[in-house]
Amino acid sequence: MQAVFGTNWKMRNLDQREAQQYLKTLADGLGGLLEDGVQVCVLPPATLLPAMSEVARKTSIRLGAQNFHWEEEGEFTGELSTELLKDAGATVLMVGHVERRVLFNENDEVINRKLLRALEEGFHAILCIGEADRSTPEARLKEELSAQLVSALRGVNEADLNRLIVAYEPHWAIGRRVDAAAPVTRVKQSAEAIRGALKTIVGTENSVRLIYGGNVNLSNCRAIASVDGIDGLFVGRAAVDPAGFVSVIERALDGATD
């Protein structure tokens, strides 16, 4: 299955020129990997999308948006529609990130509506799921991940599953306040649970790509990417520098092909 690597810039303060240069450096560093079919996506603040799309359209790097509204348009002050984001150059939309769930109270119903909207409008969608507690036992972990998938995937058309990417991001491994990724054993348990749940919920797990996110770095990316069922990585701080992002991708791919 096609390898996928992404990075979410969150509320990072770059100007348009800096954002464009990031993409140019990233594309140059990846070189033949993009030609070989490796999929890379960058999710900047939405205001940077138009400028970055001028560079991205010359490469196969996809641009994405971190947030959007599930309605086509309307009286939703401060929100952006999928149509506006598409016009700005986004082809990927992220749904269910823990910071949206916790800080902005996005519940299961909202996440489901947003996922349906993204897929119906032809976007690739990154659905983030994960457990809140590092000490969650394996049986409970399977239940939590399955429940999140059941809710999020309600009503999803089977024909759209090839544009769905599930990002396993344990909440306790996200953000600057933590410095450790999930152990490989936990990633393996979660990958198996997610793949099993997908097969039960939608009848297949083969068309859905699964990536891991949460304190990915140059030291751990190879081991995580080599876990059976993991198709790529969602990289945070290690991708702030485009050369660092390239290094992570190269090492991860080296491990995945061993």
Positions marked active-site: 97, 169
With 0-12 / 13-18 / 19 or more C-beta atoms within 10 angstroms meaning exposed / middle / buried, residue 64 is: buried
CB 6 within 8 A of CB 40: yes
166 Cβ contact partners less than 8 Å away, ≥ 6 residues apart: 126, 127, 129, 149, 194, 198, 208, 209, 210, 211
CB 205 within 8 A of CB 235: no
Distance CA 131, CA 169 (A): 8
CB 52 within 8 A of CB 27: no
CB 93 within 8 A of CB 65: yes
Distance CA 87, CA 56 (A): 14
158 Cβ contact partners less than 8 Å away, ≥ 6 residues apart: 202, 203, 204
